[in-house]
């Protein structure tokens, strides 16, 4: 979970989030290379005294400063397309969950297990350890399980998000959106609605608990 004054990503709990962090580091390396190159050219142009005031065009120079940015864009585009492909929908999933957004709480249903919807409300500050993050009924997921989540809303647009998982999907009234996720780490993972949905927008947190499969089968089925 995020901590005070933290500027870095949260620890990844899925392969998608790991790839997102790697992609971010890759882009930062490319940006540093561009800044160093541009800075060197600017400093060199400021310090040198040799200028050709009669040169109004240069085909070779224009070709160079057109090709080099295109190469840098390719260095960014190919990893980005690969990551988008990894985040695409998959037909390989073990269980299905339904999520409904309300003003201002979430409802969950385990469709495959025949369990009806249950509501997840935020706890008051006196009842919880983490302010604005604890809920009365958290979402429980078995470890190392491919999950398909179908998301919608009952009133206004919400957004279901867990940063450490690297997923974000809008809950839109009258429309079904879906996402696929799997966990490679057990524990408690927090999120909050990421769409401004009304006066109590900041009071509808998301709490997900990932537990071993055997414990899930024994206690939840």
Pairing outcome for strands 147-153 and 95-102: parallel
Contacts of 20 (CB under 8 A, 6+ apart): 9, 12, 83, 166
Q: And the tokens for 180?
A: 């696929």
- Report the alpha-carbon distance of residue 89 to residue 205 in Å, rounded: 25
pLDDT band per the 50, 70, 90 thresholds, residue 221:
low
- Dihedral sign for Cα atoms in the order 221, 113, 162, 143: positive
**3 state DSSP class of 30:** helix
| pLDDT digits 0-9 by tens, 89-119 | 666 788 888 999 998 889 998 887 777 788 8
Contacts of 189 (CB under 8 A, 6+ apart): 1, 13, 162, 164, 165, 207, 208, 209, 210
Please determine, for residue 61, whether its predicted confidence score (pLDDT) is greater than 80.
no
The pLDDT, as a whole number, for residue 128 is 67
- The residue behind tokens 């249903």 is 109
Q: What is the signed CA dihedral for 111, 113, 114, 115, rounded to 10 degrees?
A: -90
| pLDDT digits 0-9 by tens, 169-213 | 889 998 998 888 888 888 888 888 888 888 888 888 898 888 888
Are 183 and 211 within 8 A, CB to CB?
Answer: no
12-22 average pLDDT score: 83
Write the Ramachandran bin of 166: left for phi over 0, alpha for psi from -120 to 50, otherwise beta.
Answer: left
CA atoms within 13 A on the CB side of 192: 16
Domain architecture of the chain: domains with CATH: 15-88 (1.10.287.90), 95-220 (2.60.40.420)
Please determine, for residue 35, whether its predicted confidence score (pLDDT) is greater than 90.
yes
| pLDDT digits 0-9 by tens, 67-92 | 988 988 898 898 888 888 877 766 67
Please determine, for residue 50, whether its predicted confidence score (pLDDT) is greater than 70.
no
Provide the residue count of the chain: 221
- Report the alpha-carbon distance of residue 144 to residue 15 in Å, rounded: 11
Pairing outcome for strands 205-211 and 139-142: parallel
| pLDDT digits 0-9 by tens, 130-167 | 777 888 888 888 888 888 889 999 889 999 988 888 88
47 vs 141, more confident: 141
- Report the alpha-carbon distance of residue 153 to residue 162 in Å, rounded: 17
pLDDT band per the 50, 70, 90 thresholds, residue 36:
very high
Are 126 and 75 within 8 A, CB to CB?
Answer: no
């Amino acid at each position: 979970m995020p901590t005070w004054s933290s500027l870095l990503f949260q620890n990844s709990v899925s392969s998608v989030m790991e790839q997102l962090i790697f992609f971010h580091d890759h882009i930062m390396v490319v940006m540093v290379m561009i800044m160093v190159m541009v800075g060197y050219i600017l400093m060199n142009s400021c310090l040198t005294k040799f200028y050709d005031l009669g040169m109004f065009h240069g085909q070779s120079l224009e070709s160079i400063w057109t090709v080099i940015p295109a190469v840098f864009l390719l260095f960014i585009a190919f990893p980005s397309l690969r990551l988008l492909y990894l985040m695409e929908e998959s037909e390989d999933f073990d269980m299905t969950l339904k999520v409904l957004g309300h003003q201002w709480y979430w409802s969950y249903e385990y469709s495959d297990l025949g369990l009806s919807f249950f509501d997840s409300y935020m706890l008051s500050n006196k009842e919880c350890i983490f302010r604005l993050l604890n809920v009365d009924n958290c979402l429980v997921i078995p470890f190392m399980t491919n999950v398909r989540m179908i998301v919608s809303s009952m009133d206004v647009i919400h957004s279901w998000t867990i940063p450490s998982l690297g997923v974000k999907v809008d809950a839109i009234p009258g429309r079904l959106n879906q996402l696929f996720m799997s966990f490679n780490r057990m524990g408690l993972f927090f999120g909050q609605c990421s769409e401004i949905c009304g006066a109590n927008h900041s009071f509808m947190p998301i709490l997900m608990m990932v537990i071993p499969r055997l414990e899930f089968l024994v206690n939840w089925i």
